[in-house]
Structures are given as C-alpha cells and as structure tokens.
Structure 1
Amino acid sequence: MPSNKEERATQMYAALGIGFVCVVIGIPLWWKTTEVYRVSLPYREIADISKTMIKYTVDLDIINGDQSLSGDHITQLSRLLSDKLETREAEVAPYYRLNIRDATEKELAKVKAMTSTSDVDGQFVSGEDGINRYQVVIIPKISPLSLQKPFLSLGRTVLVKSAGSSDIQSLADRISRVTQDSLVKEESLSKAFHTGKGTGDRTLKPEKSSMRSVRSNPSYDITFTLVNPQPDILDVQWDIEEAVKDYLDPFLQQLNKYAEINVKSQVLYFTGFLKRMKRDSKKQAFLYTDKDLPHVINPLEAKLGSHTSNNPALNFLIYVPSRDQHPIYIVDSKGVEVESNSFLSPQWGGIYIQNAPSPSDNDTLPVTVELDMRRAMEVFISQLRLLLNFQSQKNGDALVADVGNQVISKWELDGWLRSRCLENLGTSLATLQSLAQLLGEISNIVIQDDIGQQVQDAVDSIRESQHHLVEGRLEKAFLESRNAIVCSEKAFFDPSLLELLYFPEDQKFAIYIPLFLPISLPVLASLWKAFKWMREDKKQKKE
C-alpha cells in the first residue's frame, strides 16, 4: 500500500496537472475562441490624410489684347497677379498656374473687331477639354465694346477691359477679383469643405446656398406632381414627358457623368391648399404671403407618396387652383406679386401656381385645360439649379452671360465640381474619423473584411482626389471624391457595426464571473496547496 506521503504527492501532482491544463491550455483556448474578428484598419493613414492641407490648382491664361501695354507692363502685371493670387497657408488653399502672353495676330484682330459679347466663346477657344482652364482676355481701353465690368461668358473666357498703361494696378485688381470671387469662389469652397467635415465656425452665419441646396450625393430623385383639386370641374392636361425631353434633358445631359438623376411624375386629385388665403378685393384674387408658404407644403407632402430610395428627393409641384380659390397669387413682404408665382422650399423642392381660366356657368364640365409647360419648366429648372447649388455670380463685380438653353455654363460646371469635390472630401474624412474613433473605443465590435476593404478604398480615393486636385485634373478629382464618400458611408453604416449588437465590458464580466469563479476557486486553492507542498518537500530534502 502506498504511504501517506506518496498519496499526498499523487494528489499534489494531480492538482498541478489540472492547474496546468486550466491555465496553460484552457485559458488561451477560451480566449482565442471567444475573441472577435477585427481586420486591421489604416488608422494612421486616416489620421495623416485628415491633417493634410487641401490644395487645388487652377490654370489661368491671361491674353493681352491691348497693344498699349508693353513687355514691362506685362511683367509688372504678372508680378502683381502672382502676389494677389499667391497661395495662403490654410487648410484649403488655391494654387494658380499663371500664363501671361500677348495675343496672336488672329486673336488681336478678333479683339479689335469685337462689338458685342455674343460670340466670345467661338472666338477664343481653349485647348484640350478646357476643364479648369480659364482665359482672361484684356480688351483695350479704347474699344467698340462697351464693358464697364468684367464679363463671364458661357464658356471659360473672361473679358476684362484695360485701364491703360498708366494703371496696371487697377487691371490686376479686377482680374484677381473676378478670378477669386466669381470663377473660383475661394471663400465658398473653404466653407463647403469645412461644412462637409463639420468643422465650420458656428459663430458665423451660414451661406444661404449651403442651407438651400441638398447635400452632395451620387444620385438624386426628382418627382414632378400635378395637383388638381377639382378634376370634376377642370380636366387638366400636361405633357410632362415632352416637357422633360425638351427642357430638362439638356440639363441632365450635362450632369450625367457626375450624378445620376431619376425623374418620375404623378397626378394628385381632390387635394389642395388647406391654409386659408387672404382675399384681396381690389385684385379680385387670393394672396399668399411669405409667412403662409410654410403651411402649404405639409398637407401636400403627406399625399405625395412614400420615398423608398436613399437618394435625396426633390419635389416640383404644379398647383391648379380650384374654382372657389381662383386666382391665387404669391406676394412678397411688401405686397408685390412674385413674377414667377412660385416659391422654393430649401432642400425639398418648389411649388408653381398656374392659374387656369375658371369655367363659366354655361360650360360643360369638366372643362379641358392645357397647361403651359414651357413656363412651368423654366421655373422648375431655375429652382433645380439652386437646389443642386448652381449659382451664377451675378454680383456687383462681374457681368454674367445668360445661360439660356444651355442651362449650365462651363465655368459654373467647373465651380460645381470643385465645390462638390471639396464637400465630398470633407464629409468622407469626417466619416472615417468617426468610424475610427468608434471602433477604437468599442474593442469587441467585429470588423469584417469587406468593411476593411471599403475603408481602405475610401482612404485611397481621398489620396487620389487630393493628388488630382493638386495637378489640376478637376473631373478626375471629383469622381474619386464621389467614390470616397460612397465607400466611407457604406462602411460607417454597415449593419454589423451597430453598437447595440455587442455587450458592454461590464455586462461581460457580470456573465463570466458567476460561471468561472466557482470553478476557479477550488483549482486555485489546490494549486496553492500543491506549491506549498513542493516548497516544504524541497526544504525537507535539503535538511
């Protein structure tokens, strides 16, 4: 029979074996099998690109069509423009590549023969595709062309009248002002980036354009709605398909490379304005003031139908007043009728009131009425330009050519691409920073491979967009920024990253402690006794 000493030794070795299995094999195995899968994310790259200064390059060609300006004057003008357009230290800063030259004989002949601004773009054509490259043509002080202010054509040509050789400073001021404030809009670009990033100065009053326009998005949904409150009295006909083809398609074709715009239409019957209108006995009409307009949209919006797309929705309504509300006019705060008889709702759309002739008592009902779609589409396209943040710079510093059927001038399109590009970069940077912070704070969120790939794609697109901006490749920069915002938001809003799917750390301990504590106490006690026995046994052997 084994002695007590041998039995005790056997028990102690058994305790050590159990402890070894639990500590050396069990704990690592449990730790490995319960850990969450987290693909490595480029946290350092996100931090680096967030600190990178955004610089965009603009090509500016100055063509001297004033023969009274000598080579010294051109040199002086070049130096003054370089000083005024010099890149400043800021998070968003422009860089102008200047090229100043004398007009060729052919160009000089065109300048001398110019009597109007009607065909400026046909006479001065920039090379290649011309995107992000502008031509400033200096017109002589003595010229048949009457030009008191700089003139912006439908293309990328600007006409500036010279003040003569005695005032190069004034000429440089006009060129730099029209470039910075009208063509490039430096201040608006900086605000667009900081607004997208969420780092704008909250003490400053935001621009109306940023509050009015919808945020940048790869796709938009447009819905045209005809509202006929009394179809039993008026049979309103509208050829919306032909109107979209004739008036809206030229606008959409200019944007089809940069945004997908989906158009649909509908007709609403037996619904109308619920807000009671004020009747003007002198005008024999019902009047809506600017204070009444906010109460008009809500009753109509509830009946427009559900919007099932993730794209921003823009609504354009044609309202035909009923017999008991005919006619309706919109007046401003001073009581003056609004010429378009329409109003714009920021980030929502617009409503146009078309007063159809009211049927007489002898007419057979319903009376068929054809709407003037040309007038309606002119109103809606002007509203759509504002909602998509297209604004021509019709300010006191420059004259702007009427866009007419072209809808968007080329320099306006450049400005829109530049603004949306910076807004996309700001938004995607803010999204990646928020995502990195979220995943850093909650360590048990699973990060799948596809999320890691989307984050990496967003980082790469941001870097590519910044590089294209520096090189002056505006179109490529915009397309990369659009991909960056799509990838970053897809990663950020992935359902697997929902915080509610994961237990907080304190709840984990509340679950594990009641499970492992009763098991671990006997094991730890046995290990402690085994170590004590080994130490005593070693001491006895030495003695």
Structure 2
Amino acid sequence: MTGKNEDPGSSSTPTDTTMSSKSSVQRLPPPEKPEAVWTRFKIIAAFWAVIVFLGFPIWWKTTSIYRARLPVQEMVEWADGKTCRPVFPLEIRFETPSLPDSEAQHLLRTTQHTLDDLNEFSAHHLRLKLSEDTLAANNRDERQLHITTDGKADTALIVRLLPQDDLTSPRSELHLDTTQLDVYYPPSQIPPPSSSNPPLSAYIAGELQQLFTEEKAIIAQILSDNNAMGSTNTPASSNNQQPSRMLNSISPQLAETISRRLRRSMKYADTYHLAFSLFAPGSSPSSWDIQPAVDEYIAPLLHAFAPISNFTVDTQVQLYATFSPTAPPPEYDESQATWTLKQEDLSAFINAAEWPLSPSIGNGPTINFILYVPAPSQSPMVVKESSATSWIIPQWGGVFILNPPLSTATGAPSNPTHLSQASLGPAFLTFSHQLLTLLGAPATPTSLPFRLQTLIRIRAADLLLSASSTMGSLARLTESLPSIPIPAAVATSVSTTLSHLASACVHLREGRFQAALASARVAETEAERSFFEKSMVGQVYFPDEHKVAVYLPLLGPVGVPLIVGLLREIKRIVASWKARRAGS
C-alpha cells in the first residue's frame, strides 16, 4: 500500500546520482599544463616589455616638450628694478678762455655746488668739467689739475664763458645748430676766491637747471610709470619715490606739455616708414617736386635721428580724392571768405575707406603725411577755431592743406598742374615739425641738436625699462605655463637681452648715452623676439583635455586587453604562491 502512494517521478536511486556527478565532472576543462601557463606568461611579459622598454620611451621622446633653461631669477630682478637703477650723469664742459686757472676752478666748484643744491632728482644730475682746450690753455707748465677728463662720457652741453664790458648783468644765448651755450658776463662779476655763492655761479646754475627741466620731468615720468608697474611686494625706497617728488614739483603747464607729447608721440620702433601723399579732389595738381623737398627738409632730420631709429620714405599721388560721405563737409564763412573745418571734425577728414593709406609697411609703423590741395571752389580752406591749415593726428601722422594761389588773370583760386619745390616749402617745413612731435622729441629748448640729445637719453631709458619689463613678463609666463615649449632660440635671445641690458646700464652710469641707446635697442629687439616666439605662442592654448581626447580612442581598445591579462596573471601567481605556502 505504501508503495502505491509514492510518486514514481520523485524517487531517486543511488545509481542516478552517481551518473549525474560523473557527467558534471567530465564537463570541467582539463587542468592547464605547466608549459601552457609558462607560454602565456611569456607572451604577456613580452607585450609589456615592449610597451615599457620600447614604446613608452619612444612616446616620451617624441611627445616631450623641450624647455630650454632660462635665468628666471635674473629676469625677474631686472623687471623689478633690483639689478639696475637708471642714472643720467650729464657731463657739461666749461670753456673759460679769459679766466686764469684758479678762477676757472673756483667758478666751476661754486656752480657745481649751487646745481647740487637746486637738484631734487638725484637720478639726473649735471657734472661740470673744464674742457680739454681750457685745461691746455690754462696749464702751460703741464701741471696736473684735480678736474680732468677721461674722454669717455658724452658731452651734453658746452658752456662758453665770454666777458663783455658793456653788460651790467649776465646773459646767455643757446646756439640753434649746436649744443653750445654762450654766457656773457661783466668782468666785475668774476667771483673772488673767498666767495661761496657768487651771483655768476647762481646765474649759470639757474640757466642750466632751466635747460634740462623738461628732460628731467620726462625721465621722472618714465621712471615713475615703471615703478608703478613694478612689484608691489617690495617696499618703495627713497630712490623710487624721487620721480614722484620731481613730478610734483614741476609746473602745471610743463606737466600738460609732457602729457600732450606722450599722447601724440608714437611708440618707439627700430624702423619707421614715412609716407608722403598728395591728394587732390580733381585732376590737378598731378605732379610735385617731392624728391628735392624731401632732400631739403626731411633728409637732414632723418640723418640726425640715425642714432635713434632707421627710416624709409615712400611717396604717392592720388587724384580725385573726395571726402568721406559720412564726414561733415566744409562750411563757408562769409565773414572771413574762407571754407572752414570744425575742430571736432578733423578726425574724420581722412577718407580711410577710399584713400590708399597703408596702415603699415613692413615691420615698423608708418607715419603718414597728407598734403591736401582743395578744389578751387572750396578754397581757401582752414580750421575754423584757429585758422590753421595743418594739424597732427596723434600716433598716426600729420595733415597740411595747401590752398591754391590766386590766378593773376581771373583773381580766383586755381590749382596748378605741378607743385614746385618752392610751393612745397611751407608744407614740408610743417611736416618736419610734426615729425619731431610724433617721434617724441621734447618741445624745449630751441636748439634741435640739444633736443635730439635729450631724446637719445629718453629713448635709452624707455627701452631699458621696456626690455626689462618684457623679461619679467616672459619669466612669469614660463613659470605659470609649464606645458609650453621653450626653444633654444628663446634662451639665446634672453641671454643676448640680459647682456645688452647690463651693457646699457653701465653706459648710462658712465654717461655714454649713445652707446647706451645702441645696447638698449638690441635688448628691446631681442626681448620682443623671445616673448613673441611663434613656437611658444602656438602651445599656450593647448590644454591637457585635448591630449586625453587624442590618446583615449587610440589606447583604449589596445590597453584594456593588456591590462586585464596582466591582472589575471598577477592573480594566478598570487594564488599559486598562497597554495604552495599553505601546503608547506
């Protein structure tokens, strides 16, 4: 009975259980042979050996960024003004042919003492010396004087003392074509040996102080701007505060003159391109004597500027040059019988859209000079507020309106077909003055050689500080962006820059300003070349995310099997090691 109630399907016999276990055992893979395990280990090891010892070094070598070593600390010290503090010892030669040796030396000492008392800016100081001619004339017995000349420093000014009997007080006259100041004095004002502050010494010191006032103010402005842009982590020393004190002591008129000059003048360049253009609204004038005019009025000026910059000259004639449609047209003034341009409309006078004025020719900036001959129906044409016929466009160029002469037959203006050299004289004389302003020459004094010597000292200081600042910027750039390359050419340019900066600083300290400017020009050129190196600029905006996006699609499919195989082999070795340790 019991057997009938049991489920036949649920019954199991020992024979069935034994057969099921045997079939499961037969389905398991056979154990690996030691030879197969060793072969798999060697394959994985070979792959990783190729990756580690061949692939990775090749990848590292081909993708590594070359960074030449730069003297970063020295570059930063130049930028912070710790290496060189520009000074300007100006050597002034005294010629005293009418004074004996003792009186000449006494006058020199008292004048130098008065100058030192008047000077509030120690970075710019005047050093008085007797000229070699005076020493030779006053020392027939070949005695060695205390004041001698070394023949190294540039002579900033020659002061020639000339007695004049009909004078009651001293007077001075600066030569327009040389750097010589003639001081005429009554013989009664020769200081006796016992006097400590004679009137003649005070007069000479005052005249010298006045001649160099604008130069001191400009240099103080340059040094003050450089101190303001320098590091704020170091406390300001008394030397750094002197430029500010000097600027505070100058008159508001002189400060405005300097500010206007800085706004108008162009940034320094090693080469400038001068473009003289003749524009006429009609078919005449169609020719002009440009070459003789340039040779007479511009070429001597360019020759005088040769130690400072290089120049190229281009000319062009453009006929049917009309005003811009958007520019306000000239207005007729019946009271003056002239066509006038408003002061606020002068900036729109140039028709930049249609007039062929190239903004730049070559590497250097272009200074444009526009000679515009208005149509007879709109002549004469002047500026309404000042009745002027010329003006300067700051940091661009100058414009001169050449109104045509009145016809002898009709009495009305008529444009000639050709402009002679004589008719171009006023325009090019104005262009020469505008060129001086655009190049940054000081407004005073009247002597052109004196102003050019001042400009040499100003440019030397400006370039020295500019190149130093560029070195600091380059050092900070390379430190903040470690992924950009630094070619060997950059290291060479930096080395050249620092060498010429040191040379310029030494020349300034010893009063050799032309040599200082030459070294500073090289330093500025090399500094700009190193900072704007193309291979460096191209890597500045290449973040690491771009590298991941490039490598991941290539290395992902290849790297995953290799890493998984390596992990399995490591797991097998660890398990085998544990089994051997447990069995022992």
SS at match of 1:433: helix
- Which residue pairs with 1:259 in the alignment? 309
- Which residue pairs with 2:292 in the alignment? 242
After superposition, the C-alpha distances for 1:153-177 in whole angstroms (9 at most, x for unaligned) are 6433345688875745995596278
CA contact (8 A) 1:445 1:502 kept: no
In structure 2, relative to structure 1, the CA distance for the partners of 1:364 and 1:488 (3 Å cut) is: closer
TM-score of the superposition, structure 2-length normalised? 0.72
In structure 2, relative to structure 1, the CA distance for the partners of 1:145 and 1:220 (3 Å cut) is: farther
In structure 2, relative to structure 1, the CA distance for the partners of 1:157 and 1:363 (3 Å cut) is: closer
1:225 Cα deviation from its structure 2 partner: 1.6
- Map of 1:123-272 to 2, 5 A cutoff? 131-136=154-159, 144=167, 147=170, 151=174, 154-158=177-181, 165=195, 167-168=197-198, 171=201, 175=205, 178-179=208-209, 182=212, 185-192=215-222, 199=229, 207-231=259-283, 234-235=284-285, 238-272=288-322
CA distance in 1, matches of 2:282, 2:343: 25
Alignment partner of 1:304 out of 347, 357, 370: 357
1:127 Cα deviation from its structure 2 partner: 9.6
SS at match of 1:435: helix
In structure 2, relative to structure 1, the CA distance for the partners of 1:184 and 1:358 (3 Å cut) is: closer
- For these two proteins, the number of residue pairs brought into alignment is 502
- Which residue pairs with 2:91 in the alignment? 60
In structure 2, relative to structure 1, the CA distance for the partners of 1:418 and 1:24 (3 Å cut) is: same
CA contact (8 A) 1:80 1:169 kept: no
1:348 maps to 2:386: no
SS at match of 1:214: coil
1:31 maps to 2:21: no
1:477 maps to 2:505: no
Q: Greater relative contact order: 1 or 2 (C-alpha under 8 angstroms, separation 6 or more)? A: 1
CA distance in 1, matches of 2:342, 2:505: 47
1:373 Cα deviation from its structure 2 partner: 1.9
Matched letter for residue 434 of structure 1: S
CA distance in 2, matches of 1:469, 1:526: 71
1:73 Cα deviation from its structure 2 partner: 7.2
Matched letter for residue 131 of structure 1: D
1:286 maps to 2:342: no
- Which residue pairs with 2:472 in the alignment? 433
CA distance in 1, matches of 2:134, 2:540: 70
CA distance in 2, matches of 1:18, 1:175: 88
Structure index of larger Rg: 2
In structure 2, relative to structure 1, the CA distance for the partners of 1:303 and 1:87 (3 Å cut) is: closer
1:7 Cα deviation from its structure 2 partner: 4.1
CA contact (8 A) 1:248 1:377 kept: yes
TM-score of the superposition, structure 1-length normalised? 0.77
SS at match of 1:506: helix
1:330 Cα deviation from its structure 2 partner: 2.2
How much is the aligned-residue C-alpha RMSD, in angstroms? 4.2
Alignment partner of 1:457 out of 496, 516, 538: 496
1:64 Cα deviation from its structure 2 partner: 8.6
CA distance in 1, matches of 2:465, 2:177: 29
CA distance in 2, matches of 1:363, 1:95: 59
Alignment partner of 2:484 out of 420, 445, 466: 445
After superposition, the C-alpha distances for 1:388-434 in whole angstroms (9 at most, x for unaligned) are 1122424xxxxx4xx4xxxx31x222211111122222332333333
SS at match of 1:490: helix
1:265 Cα deviation from its structure 2 partner: 1.6
After superposition, the C-alpha distances for 1:357-389 in whole angstroms (9 at most, x for unaligned) are 245669999855645122122111111111111
After superposition, the C-alpha distances for 1:64-121 in whole angstroms (9 at most, x for unaligned) are 9689979777655544544554874xxxx3465444799959989xxxxxxxxxxxxx
Matched letter for residue 56 of structure 1: V
After superposition, the C-alpha distances for 1:113-151 in whole angstroms (9 at most, x for unaligned) are xxxxxxxxxxxxx99697344344567798638656785
After superposition, the C-alpha distances for 1:287-308 in whole angstroms (9 at most, x for unaligned) are 2232221121245873335643
- Which residue pairs with 1:319 in the alignment? 372
Matched letter for residue 353 of structure 1: I
CA distance in 2, matches of 1:194, 1:71: 36
1:322 Cα deviation from its structure 2 partner: 0.8
CA distance in 1, matches of 2:130, 2:319: 62
SS at match of 1:291: helix
Unaligned ranges ≥5, structure 1: 109-125, 395-399
CA distance in 1, matches of 2:342, 2:57: 74
Unaligned ranges ≥5, structure 2: 1-29, 139-148, 231-243, 245-254
1:478 Cα deviation from its structure 2 partner: 0.9
